Amino acid sequence: MEPTAARTADEGLVRGLGAGDAALVTIGSVLGTAVFITTADVARLLPHPGLIVAVWALGGALTLAGALTYAELGAMFPEAGGIYVYLKEAYGPLWGFLFGWASFLIIMSGGLAALAAGFGEYLGAFLPFFSTSHVLFALPVAGWTWSVNGGQLGGALAIAFLTFVNYLGLREGAGMQNVVTVVKIGSIVGFALFGLMVAAPVAPHLAAPLPPSVTGSALGVAMIAVLWGYDGWYGATFLAGEMRRPARDLPWGLLTGTLAVTVLYVLMNVVYVRALPVEAMAATTRIGETAAAVLFGPTGARLVSLAVVFSTFGCLASTILYCTRIYLAMAQDGVFFHSLARIHPRHRTPTRSILAQGGWAIALTFSGTYEQLYTYVVFAVFLFHAASGVAVFVLRRTRPGHPRPYRVWGYPVVPVVFILTAMAFVVNTLVERPMESLWGLGLLALGLPAYFSWRRAGRTRGAAPP
């Protein structure tokens, strides 16, 4: 199968997004809690101010390699579904399905649950009812106790609200995420500018000699943490079926959004190394608040906590906006629940996909901890990133005549860098978290009987197989 245009069913969607929307989705999908937390982890591994700033810049460069790679694929296949479509076109429908299956069970739903857990935790600092220490109820179940705390409830309510907003229409969902993203960009820019203007409590020696504890292994683990902080940069690819000029707007949005996030991350980390010595950075768990307290006092720390609430809420808004388009594309291809293929005649959104994703993400929010959830997410997502990077080479060989409005800059070096980065992430997760990774692989394997079952059901209904 070699489509020359987006699938006909995409016509039920509204092509109402432009390049600015794509850039804001890219930014909004990345900026969550990482910029306010992860640098403390990096400082424990790399106790050197220059290296701390450098690894965030390097992480942005590696993420940009991914954005450049996906820009070619997105311009080739300007459809709803993003990575699902790329894998299907490069390797066949089974591989696209496995990504979609993993997305529903782990990648997107687990990511939403992890974000919701983080949102609830910070919300509890302002509204004690939603504190994670406030246990709402505890229920003994088969020898263990299932409990629900206020933070989980707060996160679940956020998912429910944003699911409702996205149900109402593309403009409503995109408008909500755009407004929140602009607010959190403004808060980060404000923090960075004021942080650079005030007198520095610390004079960081960015070019100081490296301490003996800085090894190649430590650098690699630190880069894993940084790349997790950049995760979500690919979100706009799933919305190509709703862009007015996807061949132009998607590459532009991916590149400018990724560059903007990189600049914001580097600025924030320059502020951190000016505010705190490396030892203090490594000792804190919430470096954004700690640095703000040093620079601006308790009020500054409180404002940063509020910025984290907005930032995480915005990341939830972005993710809920784009991820449901995966299940729409799968259902239209006959390899997922048939009812999810429906586009609402008035709202012109995949309403049943939106509701299904919201319900499952809420269930996951109540089911486990942030740490457990995101471990499953990062392993699975980078496995598919590597396969998508290879898809650029596969499609150039198998479909040399397919229209490519954009070709990745620096080919073949740029996609190779992206592929190797993704594989390094996969290998590290397998080594560091073998049990969680095996659970992730097991859930992928469960997709095989599900795929063949849906294929048979599609043939029974007379639907053309994908």
Q: Does a structural domain hold residue 416?
A: yes
pTM flag (> 0.85):
yes
Q: Does a structural domain hold residue 123?
A: yes
Residue position matching structure tokens 């979100």: 235
Structure tokens at 134: 């406030």
**pLDDT at residue number 9:** 43
Q: Assess whether pLDDT exceeds 50 at residue 456.
A: yes
Q: Which domain holds residue 352?
A: 16-461
Q: CATH code at 130?
A: 1.20.1740.10
Across 84-98, average pLDDT: 95
Across 310-336, average pLDDT: 91
Domain count within the chain: 1
Residue 16: pLDDT band with limits 50, 70, 90:
confident
Q: Does a structural domain hold residue 79?
A: yes
Which range has the worst mean pLDDT, 295-299, 316-320, 438-442? 438-442
What pLDDT, in 10s, does the model give residues 253-278? Answer: 999 999 999 999 999 999 999 999 99
Percentage above 90 pLDDT, the chain: 53
Check if the beta carbon of residue 419 is closer than 8 Å to that of residue 389. Answer: yes
Q: Does a structural domain hold residue 3?
A: no
Q: Assess whether pLDDT exceeds 90 at residue 345.
A: no
Q: Does a structural domain hold residue 7?
A: no
**pLDDT at residue number 377:** 62
Of 330, 247, 275, 197, whose CA–CA distance to 72 is shortest?
Answer: 247
What span, in angstroms and rounded, lies between the C-alpha atoms of 43 and 457?
53
What span, in angstroms and rounded, lies between the C-alpha atoms of 23 and 21?
5
Q: Which residue has the higher pLDDT, 121 or 50?
A: 50
Q: Does a structural domain hold residue 29?
A: yes
Residue 375: pLDDT band with limits 50, 70, 90:
low
Check if the beta carbon of residue 64 is closer than 8 Å to that of residue 263. Answer: no
Residue 372: pLDDT band with limits 50, 70, 90:
low
Of 419, 458, 402, 455, whose CA–CA distance to 5 is shortest?
Answer: 402
What pLDDT, in 10s, does the model give residues 149-175? Answer: 888 899 999 999 999 999 999 889 889
**pLDDT at residue number 4:** 37
Mean pLDDT of the chain: 87
What pLDDT, in 10s, does the model give residues 22-73? Answer: 999 999 999 988 889 899 999 999 999 999 999 999 999 999 999 999 999 9
Check if the beta carbon of residue 318 is closer than 8 Å to that of residue 112. Answer: no
Q: Does a structural domain hold residue 5?
A: no
What pLDDT, in 10s, does the model give residues 383-409? Answer: 899 999 999 999 999 999 999 999 999
**pLDDT at residue number 199:** 85
**pLDDT at residue number 367:** 80
Q: Does a structural domain hold residue 1?
A: no
